Amino acid sequence: MADEDEQLSIYDEVEIEDMTFDEALQTYHYPCPCGDKFEIALCDLQDGADIAVCPSCSLMIRVIFEVEDLPGGGGQGVEGGKAVAVSA
């Protein structure tokens, strides 16, 4: 994974606590220098992704977070912050 990180041009590293969570879109946002916002979906964070992108420019940020601290606990069987039954 280190090789992948070296190929990415990361603008900054941001703590998830500094980002804004949009409950309707289930997306975290952070202001981008271009005037738009970096964004990353909650489901992507729960799946282990940590790169938020700006839809208007080429900048990316790394999001610093713990999966268990995400809304819904970041565990399986969670959908939109509400527990749902999972059959095996």
Q: What does the pLDDT read at residue 69?
A: 86
Per-residue tens of pLDDT for the chain, all 88 residues = 455 555 778 999 999 999 999 999 999 999 999 999 999 999 999 999 999 999 999 899 999 999 888 987 644 443 444 434 444 4
H helices, E strands: number in the chain: 2, 8
Q: How far apart are the first and last CA of the chain?
A: 31
Indicate whether this model's pTM tops 0.95.
no
* Single-letter amino acid, residue 88: A
